[in-house]
Structure 1
Amino acid sequence: MQPGTRLRTSDTEREQVAEILRAAMAEGRLDLGEGEERLAAAYAAKYRDELAPLTADLPDGGRAALARTPTARAATRRSLRRHGSFILILAGVLTGLWMLSGAHFFWPVIPIAFLVMGLIRHARHGRYEFRYSYAHGRC
C-alpha cells in the first residue's frame, strides 16, 4: 500500500462511529444539533480519515461513553457468565481427573487458581472493547 492512498470506510466502521456519537449525545457531551451534524458526516464519510475528527474531541475518543451503554453492559455480563461457567465446568473435569488419579495432593488447585485470576481480571477490565482503530492499515 502506498503512503498517499486513502482507505475507504465500511458501513460497519461508519456505524461504530455513529454509536459513539449517539452515546456522547446521551451523556450530554454533544447537543442535539451538533450530534446530528456529526452523525450526518459519519454516514456521508467515504474514507477512514474522515471519521477520526468526528470523535477526536470526546474523552477517550468516545469509547468510554460507548462502554457505559446498556447494550455494552449486557454484553459484558453475558461474557462474564460464559467465562465463569467455562471455569466451573473445567474445574469439575479437573477434580474428576484428580479423583481418578488417586493423588494425595489436590493438584487441580493450581490451574483453577490461574483460571479464577483470569476471571477476576476479566470482571475488572472486561468492559466493552471497541476494536476499531483509525490507524488500522497504516505503517
Structure 2
Amino acid sequence: MHPEQVTPPRLRTSDSEREQIAGLLREAMTEGRLTLDEGEQRLGAAYAATFRDDLDVLVRDLPRGDRGTGATRRSMQRHLRLVVIAAGLLVALWTLSGATFFWPVFPLFFLLTGLFRHARWHRHGVPARPRF
C-alpha cells in the first residue's frame, strides 16, 4: 500500500474536549444560532461522541470564535505600556539614588517575564475551538 492511501487512525475524544464542544454549542444556543431542539440534539451527540471527528461535525457550521482578536491586541498593548512605564520609573529611581549596581534588573526581569508569558498565552493559549 502507498503512504498516500493509508488513512490516519481515528483519535478518541476526551471528556475535556466534549465539554469544550458542549460550551460552544451552549453559546450558539444563547446567541440564537441554534434552536433549542437542535442545540439539545447536538449536545446529546457531543456527550455520546467517541471520536474527535464526531465532535468536529457538530460545530462545523458555527462561526469560529475569533472575535477576541481586537481585545487581545488591546490587552497586550495595555500590558506593554504598563511595563514600559514601570521600567522608566525604576530606571529614574536608580538614577536618582546614585547606586552603582543596576538593581532595577530584578523587578524588570519579572515584569518582562510576565509580558512574555502574556504574549505566549495569547499566541498559544486555549483555542476557541479544539484543533483536531
Question: Match of 1:59, SS?
Answer: coil
Greater RCO structure (CA 8 Å; 6+ sep)? 2
AA in 1 matched with 2:13: T
Where do 5+ consecutive residues of structure 1 fail to align? Answer: 68-72, 103-114
Aligned residue runs from structure 1 range 19-34, under 5 A? 19-34=23-38
Taking only the aligned residue pairs, the percentage that are identical comes to 45
Determine whether 1:95 maps to 2:99: no
Tell me the C-alpha RMSD between the 2 structures. Answer: 4.1
TM-score (norm 1): 0.53
* 2:105 aligned residue: none
Distance 1:84 1:58, change over 3 A: same
- Could you list the runs of 4 or more consecutive aligned residues of structure 1 that deviate by over 4 angstroms after TM superposition? none
TM-score (norm 2): 0.56
1:30 is displaced (CA, Å) by 0.2
* 1:15 aligned residue: 19
**Rg (Cα) greater in structure:** 2
Aligned length in residues: 102
Distance 1:21 1:131, change over 3 A: closer
